[in-house]
Amino acid sequence: MSTPMTPGITKGRLPAETLAENFDDLHAPFAPHEAAVAADRCYFCHDAPCVTACPTDIDIPLFIRQISTGTPEAAGKTIFDQNILGGMCARVCPTEDLCEQACVRELAEGKPVEIGRLQRHATDTLMARQSHPYERAPETGKKVAVVGAGPAGLACAHRLAMHGHDVTVYDAEAKAGGLNEFGIAAYKSTDDFAAREVDWLTGIGGITVKTGMRLGEQLALDDLVGNFSAVFLAVGLGGVNALRSAGEDKDGVRDAVDFIKELRQAGDLTALPVGRDVVVIGGGMTAVDAAVQSKLLGAQNVTIAYRRGRERMGASEYEQDLAASKGVRLMFNAQPVAIHGNGTVREIELEYTSDDGSSLKGTGETVRLAADQVFKAIGQTLTTDGGLDMDGGKIAVTGAGRTSRAGVWAGGDCANGGDDLTVTAVAEGRDAAMDIHAMLSV
Partner 1 sequence: MADLTTDFLGIKSPNPFWLASAPPTDKEYNVRRAFEAGWGGVVWKTLGAEGPPVVNVNGPRYGAIYGADRRLLGLNNIELITDRPLETNLEEITRVKADYPDRAMIVSIMVPCEEQAWKDILPRVAATGADGIELNFGCPHGMSERGMGAAVGQVPEYIEMVTRWCKQYYDKPVIVKLTPNITDVRKPAAAAMRGGADAVSLINTINSITSVNLDTMSPEPSIDGKGSHGGYCGPAVKPIAMSMVSEIARNPETHGLPISGIGGITTWRDAAEFISLGCGNVQVCTAAMTYGFKIVQEMISGLSLWMDEKGYTSVEEVVGRAVPNVTDWQYLNLNYVAKAKISQDDCIKCGRCYAACEDTSHQAIAMSDDRTFRVVDEECVACNLCVDVCPVDGCITMEPMAPGEVDPRTGKVVEKEYANWTTHPNNPGAVAAE
Ligand X SMILES: Cc1cc2nc3c(=O)[nH]c(=O)nc-3n(C[C@H](O)[C@H](O)[C@H](O)COP(=O)(O)OP(=O)(O)OC[C@H]3O[C@@H](n4cnc5c(N)ncnc54)[C@H](O)[C@@H]3O)c2cc1C
Task: Examine residue 87 and tell whether it contacts ligand X (CB under 6 A).
Answer: no
Cβ proximity to ligand X: between 289 and 347 the closer is 289
CA distance 322 to 201: 31
Select from 26, 62, 104, 439 the one that contacts partner 1 (CB under 8 A).
Answer: 104
Task: Examine residue 197 and tell whether it contacts ligand X (CB under 6 A).
Answer: no
Segment contacting partner 1 by CB under 8 A, of 100-108, 132-140, 142-150, 171-179 = 100-108
| 258-297 footprint of ligand X as x/- string (CB under 6 A) | --x------------------------xx--x--------
36 binds, among ligand X, partner 1, none (CB under 5 to 8 A by kind): partner 1
Please state the closest distance from residue 52 (CB atom) to ligand X, in A: 18
Task: Examine residue 55 and tell whether it contacts ligand X (CB under 6 A).
Answer: no
Contacts of 23 (CB under 8 A, 6+ apart): 186, 187, 190, 269, 293, 296
Contacts of 72 (CB under 8 A, 6+ apart): 35, 66, 121, 122, 125, 126
Segment contacting partner 1 by CB under 8 A, of 10-18, 101-109, 180-188, 236-244 = 101-109
Select from 5, 16, 20, 37 the one that contacts partner 1 (CB under 8 A).
Answer: 37
Cβ proximity to partner 1: between 103 and 415 the closer is 103
Task: Examine residue 215 and tell whether it contacts ligand X (CB under 6 A).
Answer: yes
Task: Examine residue 110 and tell whether it contacts partner 1 (CB under 8 A).
Answer: no
Task: Examine residue 36 and tell whether it contacts partner 1 (CB under 8 A).
Answer: yes
Select from 14, 35, 48, 99 the one that contacts partner 1 (CB under 8 A).
Answer: 48
Please state the closest distance from residue 66 (CB atom) to partner 1, in A: 16
Q: Find out whether 183 and 270 touch, Cβ atoms under 8 Å.
A: no
Task: Examine residue 395 and tell whether it contacts ligand X (CB under 6 A).
Answer: no
45 binds, among partner 1, ligand X, none (CB under 5 to 8 A by kind): partner 1
Residue closest to 400 by CA, chosen among 391, 412, 409: 409
Task: Examine residue 74 and tell whether it contacts partner 1 (CB under 8 A).
Answer: no
Cβ proximity to partner 1: between 36 and 266 the closer is 36
Q: Helices 115-129 and 32-40: crossing angle, nearest 10°?
A: 140
46 binds, among partner 1, ligand X, none (CB under 5 to 8 A by kind): partner 1
Residue closest to 156 by CA, chosen among 192, 117, 209: 209
Size, binding site for partner 1 by CB under 8 A? 15
CA distance 86 to 426: 9
Cβ proximity to ligand X: between 92 and 160 the closer is 92
Task: Examine residue 388 and tell whether it contacts ligand X (CB under 6 A).
Answer: no
Select from 49, 133, 327, 341 the one that contacts partner 1 (CB under 8 A).
Answer: 49
Cβ proximity to ligand X: between 319 and 351 the closer is 319
Please state the closest distance from residue 74 (CB atom) to partner 1, in A: 15
Site residues (CB under 6 A) for ligand X, limited to 165-194: 170-173, 178-179, 183-184, 188
108 binds, among ligand X, partner 1, none (CB under 5 to 8 A by kind): partner 1
Query: Rule CB under 8 A: which residues touch partner 1?
Result: 36-37, 40-41, 43-49, 104-105, 107-108
Site residues for ligand X per CB under 6 A:
92-94, 147-153, 170-173, 178-179, 183-184, 188, 214-216, 234-236, 238, 257, 260, 285-286, 289, 384, 412-414, 420-423, 425
